[in-house]
Structure 1
Amino acid sequence: MMKRRQLLKQMSALPLIGGLFATTEVTAAVWPGPVTRRDYYKELGLRTFINAAGTYTSLTGCLMRESAIDAYNYATRQYVALDELQDKVGARLAELIGCEAATVTAGAASAITLGTAGVLSGMDSEKASRIPTDLSGMKTEVIMQKSHVIGYAHAIKNCGVKVIEIETRKELEKAINDQTAMLWFLNANNFKGKIQYKEFVEVGKKYNIPMMIDAAADVPPVENLWKYTDMGFDLACFSGGKGLRGPQSCGLLLGRKDLIAAARLSAPPRGDTVGRGMKVNKEEILAMLMAVENYLTRDHESDWKLWESQIKLIADAAATVDGVETEIHVPDIANHVPSLRIRWDNKKVKMTPNEARQALRNGHPSIETVGGDESIDITTWMMNPGEERIVASSIQKILSKKS
């Protein structure tokens, strides 16, 4: 396999599409000329907003980079065999990231389901067709830490397996038996569990049991794309529509070649499988590849400095209001970007964070933020350039009116 650094150096010399896939000449009839843009959201009576919250699915995740948009639009105008496209894109992703194999999925949750199905069925398509209703001849249990059991773990249950919850390494080793199909790890909760990366991988290797890690929101930093498979996890799942800035409905399943191949037995275009509804179209697959290429070649230091300056601008504006305190922080894991927490003395600023959040949402333009009853929480990495100034001004005005 080509060294990752060597490959990345060569990428800048490659054309985005033509150098990767053999294509027929595109005629003018296929590519329509400029058309008048319609404001579809306005026609539907929908308000758009400035995303100061982050990469939440409910807020439609991220905005794609231009290279991903270009690839998406390119793919709409020509046909290609879906499996062949997944083969080529998967091979290219694996080469870029430095893992054995990769495939584009319908989000990180889809990656979890398909990965689990692949572990259960292996390369037996008849077994794949029986998931989740008949697991005869397959292992039926997946073990995870209680602190890692969140809603997204349901993506594993989609395959009909029983989830076994444990807390300590001793309990983990005791729970392993001849029905243990897989060990599952939630990266975002690494520090909340009693078993962390090293021990978890040690146990999986000791008993020769496949291990999957859910790292959906865990880029940046960029090295996380290969960190977990290098660490020893057999499968790693990432969201495509968060930090990678690909299509919101895409994800990545990375890892062992045999398990990726087995996972694809349950993926479209195959019909009689648990993953049939998890279709990824040609546009999304190609756009996801371009999103990864773009992400790997970005100036991450420059991006980070931009986010820091944007956060500081908003923090400084909010802090001009008497009674307001600001805290700039970076989460250790998941959404690892400069973030802002704004709190205030309710005796000096006579409104609650929930009321302030609603005022921002109802403003012009509308601004979405997050946080609980004690604070307004903000990130800037999903904003368009210049929107941080609008957010800073809006927060300052809203808090000042109630001070």
Structure 2
Amino acid sequence: MSIYSELGVKRVVNASFALTRLGGSSLSKEVLKAMQEANKSYVYMWDFIKRGGEIIAEACGAEAGWITSGAFNALVLSAAACMAGKDPEKMRRLPDTSGMKNEIIIQRANRLYVYDRAMEVPGGRFVPVGDETWGCTPELMEAAITDKTAAIHHVVTGTPKPRVVSVEDTVKVAHKHDVPVILDCSGITYPLDGLTKFVDMGVDLACYGGKYVGGPNSTGFVIGRKDLVETVALHSFIGQEAGPLEQGGFYRSVGRGYKLDRQEVVALLVAFKRWMEMDHEKERFEPAWKRVRYIERRIKKLPGLEGVEMSYVPPSGEGCGYHTIGLQLDFKGKTEREVFDIVRSLREEDPEIWVRYWSRGSVFIINCLVLQPGEEKILVERFSKVFA
């Protein structure tokens, strides 16, 4: 009996993604062992997180780094740092940003509404530019800069957006007016140059999610310009208590609620090191492709899947997409509601089977990159039942 069964909840076979609502990533044995070791002793968290940030920054070629409780928190702290700086009185007032530089420029065609509102948590005020359909230009972006501009926000996802001002051009526009760029690149961790190229472009604060390097779902980090990262640290949960003496200590911090355990910090650092050093092709991709082909062979002739078009993701049948290696099923001719009902039916029993579905269209993906060893058999068994 699993721990989830003991607690009275169904477990999930994750053939979807490293979704927050499914608990993020799966931690390696090395990471779990390190967490157990960290649990044996206490540590001064300011020194620990500072050192951890240095390790990550050095590996990424950045001036500085700081470990956060997720990419969302990295964005919150980055916005706070750009608005209030190191001024204790301004820091106490957040999210009241009246009288401060509090405007954050963002392209309408480059918004991630679920996540970019992190900027509003410490009191940021968005200044949208361009159009959701036809995009934006560097000229429109520059015209929006005023003496109230605290930063320009940019988002990079696994699906590049057309007609959006590039990261490079955003940096040029921002730095021409001494305005910092805050980048949400939370999942751009593979290929590995995703961890280095943005600071090389001049991005001032680049924010990542720890789950995308095999760390806990509750971790993240920000890398970039030394003075701004140091300010991020002061706004963090531990900066409130352990910051430099000149800050007075025990001032109110907007980041206080975003705590990290020492075990989580250790987990992120061990996972990050492993991520940077592992043979991704051998350790991650090859096993995933074996699962893809195992599943394909056993479900392609199921009666309920007759006429369903199957293809690989990526289409080449090798390598890796955006944290995805899988089998795509296209239920052409079925309505969105019908496909949605199919996806829901896979979740009815214990364990639930979750596939990658965007709640629109006729397509879903069986993502084998996040499947645990042996779960492909459970998935095939369920498919054989649902599509008999």
Deviation at 1:86, TM superposition (A): 1.1
**Do residues 377 (structure 1) and 377 (structure 2) align?**
no
Q: 1:358 to 1:161 in 2, by over 3 A?
A: closer
Contact kept in structure 2, 1:218 and 1:334, CA below 8 Å: no
Letter in 1 for 2:145: I
Letter in 1 for 2:174: G
Q: 1:39 to 1:320 in 2, by over 3 A?
A: closer
Q: Which whole-Å CA distance do the structure 1 matches of 2:264 and 2:350 have between them?
A: 32
1:265 alignment partner, SS class: helix
Task: State the identity as a percent.
Answer: 28
Corresponding residue number in structure 1 for 2:184: 214
Deviation at 1:356, TM superposition (A): 2.5
Corresponding residue number in structure 1 for 2:68: 105
Contact kept in structure 2, 1:218 and 1:333, CA below 8 Å: no
**Do residues 343 (structure 1) and 313 (structure 2) align?**
no
Letter in 1 for 2:168: K
Q: Which whole-Å CA distance do the structure 2 matches of 1:339 and 1:234 have between them?
A: 35
Letter in 2 for 1:183: I
Deviation at 1:105, TM superposition (A): 0.5
Corresponding residue number in structure 1 for 2:245: none
- Please list every run of 5 or more consecutive structure 1 residues that lacks an aligned counterpart in the other structure: 1-37
Root-mean-square deviation (Å):
2.4
Range that drifts further, 142-151 or 308-317: 308-317
Corresponding residue number in structure 2 for 1:277: 257
Letter in 1 for 2:355: T
Contact kept in structure 2, 1:129 and 1:266, CA below 8 Å: no
**Do residues 390 (structure 1) and 371 (structure 2) align?**
no
Q: Which whole-Å CA distance do the structure 2 matches of 1:266 and 1:122 have between them?
A: 9
Deviation at 1:97, TM superposition (A): 2.2
Corresponding residue number in structure 2 for 1:354: 340
Range that drifts further, 248-257 or 266-275: 266-275
Q: 1:246 to 1:307 in 2, by over 3 A?
A: same
Q: Which whole-Å CA distance do the structure 1 matches of 2:41 and 2:61 have between them?
A: 30
1:377 alignment partner, SS class: strand
**Of residues 128, 139, 149 in structure 1, which corresponds to 2:101?**
139
**Do residues 265 (structure 1) and 234 (structure 2) align?**
yes
Contact kept in structure 1, 2:110 and 2:161, CA below 8 Å: no
Contact kept in structure 2, 1:182 and 1:209, CA below 8 Å: yes
Deviations 1:344-384 (A, max 9, x none): 3568xxx9322322232124532111313512322112211
Corresponding residue number in structure 1 for 2:47: 84
Query: What is the TM-score of this pair, normalised by structure 2?
Result: 0.86
**Do residues 238 (structure 1) and 208 (structure 2) align?**
yes
Range that drifts further, 326-335 or 179-188: 326-335
Contact kept in structure 2, 1:315 and 1:392, CA below 8 Å: no
Corresponding residue number in structure 1 for 2:244: none
Q: Which whole-Å CA distance do the structure 1 matches of 2:371 and 2:206 have between them?
A: 28
Contact kept in structure 1, 2:313 and 2:321, CA below 8 Å: no
Q: Which whole-Å CA distance do the structure 2 matches of 1:237 and 1:52 have between them?
A: 26
Aligned length: 359
Q: Which whole-Å CA distance do the structure 1 matches of 2:382 and 2:257 have between them?
A: 42
Corresponding residue number in structure 2 for 1:304: 285
**Do residues 286 (structure 1) and 286 (structure 2) align?**
no
1:237 alignment partner, SS class: strand
Q: Which whole-Å CA distance do the structure 2 matches of 1:123 and 1:112 have between them?
A: 17
Contact kept in structure 2, 1:131 and 1:274, CA below 8 Å: yes
Q: Which whole-Å CA distance do the structure 1 matches of 2:253 and 2:297 have between them?
A: 53
Deviation at 1:334, TM superposition (A): 8.4
| Equivalences for residues 62-211 of structure 1 within 5 A | 62-136=25-99, 138-149=100-111, 150-167=113-130, 168=136, 169-188=138-157, 190-211=160-181
1:247 alignment partner, SS class: coil
Corresponding residue number in structure 2 for 1:318: 299
Q: Which whole-Å CA distance do the structure 2 matches of 1:215 and 1:330 have between them?
A: 21
Range that drifts further, 46-55 or 361-370: 361-370
2:198 alignment partner, SS class: helix
Contact kept in structure 2, 1:320 and 1:396, CA below 8 Å: no
Q: Which whole-Å CA distance do the structure 2 matches of 1:306 and 1:156 have between them?
A: 39
1:223 alignment partner, SS class: helix
Contact kept in structure 2, 1:346 and 1:352, CA below 8 Å: no
- Please list every run of 5 or more consecutive structure 2 residues that lacks an aligned counterpart in the other structure: 131-135, 241-250
1:361 alignment partner, SS class: coil
Range that drifts further, 56-65 or 327-336: 327-336
Q: 1:394 to 1:42 in 2, by over 3 A?
A: closer
Letter in 1 for 2:327: L
Q: Which whole-Å CA distance do the structure 2 matches of 1:346 and 1:396 have between them?
A: 21
Deviations 1:170-227 (A, max 9, x none): 2101101111110111101642443122322221222221111101122222221112
Range that drifts further, 175-184 or 85-94: 85-94
1:308 alignment partner, SS class: helix
2:153 alignment partner, SS class: strand
Q: Which whole-Å CA distance do the structure 2 matches of 1:80 and 1:182 have between them?
A: 34
Query: What is the TM-score of this pair, normalised by structure 1?
Result: 0.83
Q: Which whole-Å CA distance do the structure 2 matches of 1:362 and 1:70 have between them?
A: 34
Contact kept in structure 1, 2:110 and 2:154, CA below 8 Å: yes
Q: Which whole-Å CA distance do the structure 1 matches of 2:384 and 2:163 have between them?
A: 39
